[in-house]
Structure 1
Amino acid sequence: MQQTNQIPRSSPTETVKSARRSWNATDLSLIAVFAAVVATSAILPAIPVGQVGVPITLQTLAIMVTGIVLGPWRAGAALGLYVAVGLAGLPIFSQFRGGIGILFGPSAGYIIAFPLAAMAIGFLARLIFRRIGRLKFLALFVACTVTSLLITHPLGIVGMMVNAKLDLPAAVAADVVFLPGDILKNLAAAAIGLSVVKAFPRLQGRAAGTR
């Protein structure tokens, strides 16, 4: 009788748990530091735009850099920490706002998107650093832009439709004003993230596939 040796496969949940178990004091410090960086980028002078007043900030720049530098799990944890602390009441959202009430405002969709966007760009950046030799900057810029268009902006539009009672065309129109700035911020994020990872390559994840 012939026996077949099968290699057990880890589920996504087990992979996340493994990543968390492998974090050390340095990883936890990086999560806290980058959460603080995002908070700082939010409280810098914000520019309210459009009829619902969702402000333009440097948050998306900081989020993309966080994902590129830390990889998916730690970046997601950093943004999860930022959102959790803000919802708990600390005024670290744009315009010095904080508390659970932010979830009922027009910016709610964007804030919910932050951890998801950080994880997504973290995954894409890891693939880029592993598989692309040249043109990393261009690939990172495209990854940031795709993440914005598929995660941040759609959830932001939904948030404005739900909380600001805008119809879809009005919500899309309110969101479109952020696109030119996002292009510039994505270019900056790709340049900053690439420079940091080149200088400190171990920050992006010391063990492949774990962080």
Structure 2
Amino acid sequence: MSQTVTANRKLFTTKELVLTALMSVMIAVCSWISIPIGSVPFTLQTFAMFCSLLILGGKKGTFAILVYIFLGMIGIPVFAGFTGGMGIILGTTGGYIVGFLISGLFYWLIESVAKDDLFSKNTAIKVIALIIGLVLCYAFGTVWFMQVYAKQAEAITLKTALEWCVIPFLIPDLAKLAIAVAVSHSVKKYANI
């Protein structure tokens, strides 16, 4: 009689769960740091999203983003302006929040298909993956914004939506990305992550 022994593999270790939870909290705290500048508030959410992915990697970083979104969806006030609930997700800026998840999934995909050694040691590839993920977030969020805004107020052009929701954030988001790269490098080096 032959027995098959299967290893009990955990999705995450205890340390990974704690780090993922901490990064979810970091995203929430960074979303509370908000400057209202029109239809979409300026926050540090993208900085925290970049840090989550760079520090934890694609899988755990994406789970941190997912936990953050889930907490907000069930009503915990983790979104910008200390808000939460499905109304925020279904509102004009909800597409950008969902776009964070799309960014994380894209980063995870690139990390998964790239050779481990190449991806882990090449900051340029990580930055390019994050920039493309940010573009996907902008694209999804802008289309969402246009659809919801058209239902709530009036139809707007893509040009107007980009002027309101993307162009003011391009340089700040790239600056947040550069700072996240520096911060994540230091955190990984000194915290032994």
- TM-score, length of structure 2 as denominator length: 0.82
* 1:125-167 C-alpha deviation (Å, 9 max, x unpaired): 6748721697x44443333222211x21101101211111233
- 1:99 counterpart = 2:89: no
Give the root-mean-square deviation of aligned CA atoms: 2.4
Distance (Å, rounded) in 2 between the aligned partners of 1:60 and 1:129:
25
Which is bigger in relative contact order (C-alpha 8 A, separation at least 6)?
A: 1
* 1:87-135 C-alpha deviation (Å, 9 max, x unpaired): 111111001111110123221111111122123334546748721697x
Counterpart position of 1:34: 23
- 1:197 counterpart = 2:188: yes
Counterpart position of 1:152: 137
* 1:8-44 C-alpha deviation (Å, 9 max, x unpaired): xxxxxxxxxx9x8341211111111110010000012
Which residues of structure 2 form unaligned runs of 5+?
Answer: 1-6, 151-155
> AA paired with 1:197?
K
Which residue, 160, 170, 180 being the options, matches 1:179?
170
The answer on whether the counterparts of 1:128 and 1:140 sit within 8 Å (CA) in structure 2 is no
Distance (Å, rounded) in 1 between the aligned partners of 2:115 and 2:133:
14
Which residue, 15, 30, 49 being the options, matches 2:37?
49
CA 1:137 to 1:195, structure 2 compared with 1: closer, same or farther past 3 Å? farther
Number of corresponding residues:
179
- 1:87 counterpart = 2:77: no
Which residue, 99, 114, 117 being the options, matches 1:130?
117
* 1:56-103 C-alpha deviation (Å, 9 max, x unpaired): 100001101101111122111111111111111111100111111012
Distance (Å, rounded) in 2 between the aligned partners of 1:197 and 1:120:
22
- TM-score, length of structure 1 as denominator length: 0.75
